[in-house]
Structure 1
């Protein structure tokens, strides 16, 4: 005769067996998932990026083992995996589709880079990717425009690479044609706008008035009543350079680094050794990128124009 304890044990074993069968069936189903070219996503359709395009994106960003790469809308994971496998970087893929996340994780395991790559199910506009030194993406122009204000909150020098689509009126620093699409690279610039007091060079009472739109820098210097435009000013990440002709007509070359309200570096003039200089900002910097509201308006206008 079957005891009550034996019957209870049998029922528990049956339940565990059914649960194990269900988990096994789900795992088999999930592991067999294969995306279809052109399938709909949250805001985009999925089109795989050609291998040669992926390689060129990472080359242009000069990815190194010390980098932290975030791929926004990572799809099948190939960009993040390539960053780890070919360039030795640590990489994170942010993807809204959980099936794609599972697929990417399996592919990272197969590629032998699971210790360097992770994939997370996330909305790229809600996720935190502020630790990135390199950001990659294959999104749509309207999404790129929405991302611009978020990107400009990142550390100066962060490299941003986009496959096929631009960032509106933010001119790229470098472009390439690889595979069937264009590749665009930008560096997040420091904000050097505002009024500065220059010291350390021996030049008398020198001030700088700098204006900046994205990474395009302009401005002039003041020596009392004399004002002179800067010569070939430029900024790449936190690195700033410009020429300056002093009241005696000598052309100085300045190269330095922007760190908050301070610029430090070296100034040289023909036939003379370089001297250290410092500039301090007086007052506030000006915005160098449109506000979030303006970017969203641009994105909405673009979406409306392409829907016609």
Structure 2
């Protein structure tokens, strides 16, 4: 396990006041719904058409649907294209997967409740996208996400934190979008609040999985030492401190004095150009 992965595995205990309030709201909603309605499997058995109840209990979270305007915003924030493969974690009635399929993506929903899986499949068929929108009854913590380059989710902060060590090891550049909830000390790269036609659960957060670059490098005989905290970088080049260090997928940038280094991480090397002062190409290798 790398130093970064070891740090990732031990850093997921942060809680924000806003996050705690949202969690409380979900649990209150779930408690009220459970008191007013029968269990999900009982409801499905009593009716030929399964109708989920907002706030009904699930394995890890209660079910609250994401507003359609936020579904669209989450997909826009991830800049999805028909070439992407999307996985929606806790896919519920399938609306995010179906919306992605309508945009031309191949999309797969992961849902623990078999009744919700059946409902989502039926909804996809009605929308004419069952060839691109598929659903699997599975446990999030036992699912392989490695084929996805876009992941969407509406889970609790504690679940996000448990998934984060697995998510940060995905292919650099993978986009992760969450409805409302954060991932502990892994700060989002972008956050958007929906203000039109949205009254609750209107916040979308984007993370872009960073390349792992922590360690010792060499640039033209000078030692480059990088320390990594998710996408944030600190360290030294030739004994001088670097500043404003950051990764966005495979794209790296940092400053040494007035010189800005921009580059791309690929195949165990970093190649790029400097700006400020004399512009030049630079090449870093591990070791």
Q: Which bracket does the TM-score occupy, shorter chain normalised?
A: 0.7 to 0.9
Superposition map of 1:142-157 within 5 A: 142-157=158-173
Structure 1 partner of 2:255 = 243
* Structure-2-length-normalised TM-score: 0.78
Q: In the alignment, does 2:281 pair up with 1:264?
A: no
Asked whether the equivalents of residues 31 and 103 of structure 1 are also in contact (C-alpha less than 8 Å), the reply is: no
Asked whether the equivalents of residues 30 and 99 of structure 1 are also in contact (C-alpha less than 8 Å), the reply is: no
Superposition map of 1:111-190 within 5 A: 111-178=127-194, 179=198, 180-181=200-201, 182-190=203-211
> Any idea what SS the aligned residue of 1:125 has?
helix
Distance 1:162 1:228 in 2: 37
> Any idea what SS the aligned residue of 1:165 has?
coil
Distance 1:31 1:58 in 2: 33
Superposition map of 1:261-300 within 5 A: 261-270=268-277, 272=279, 274-275=280-281, 277-282=282-287
Q: In the alignment, does 2:107 pair up with 1:91?
A: yes
**Structure 1 unaligned spans of 5+:** 1-26, 200-204, 246-250, 283-308
* Structure-1-length-normalised TM-score: 0.73
Q: In the alignment, does 2:65 pair up with 1:48?
A: yes
Asked whether the equivalents of residues 70 and 93 of structure 1 are also in contact (C-alpha less than 8 Å), the reply is: yes
State the Cα distance separating 1:271 from its structure 2 match.
5.9
Q: In the alignment, does 2:271 pair up with 1:254?
A: no
Deviations 1:110-161 (A, max 9, x none): 1111111100110011011211101110011111111011101200111111
State the Cα distance separating 1:231 from its structure 2 match.
3.7
Q: In the alignment, does 2:107 pair up with 1:75?
A: no
Q: In the alignment, does 2:77 pair up with 1:60?
A: yes
Q: In the alignment, does 2:118 pair up with 1:102?
A: yes
> Any idea what SS the aligned residue of 1:99 has?
helix
Distance 2:267 2:170 in 1: 13
Note closer, same or farther for the CA distance 1:219–1:31 as it changes in structure 2 (3 Å cut): farther
**Structure 2 unaligned spans of 5+:** 1-43
Q: Aligned pair count?
A: 239
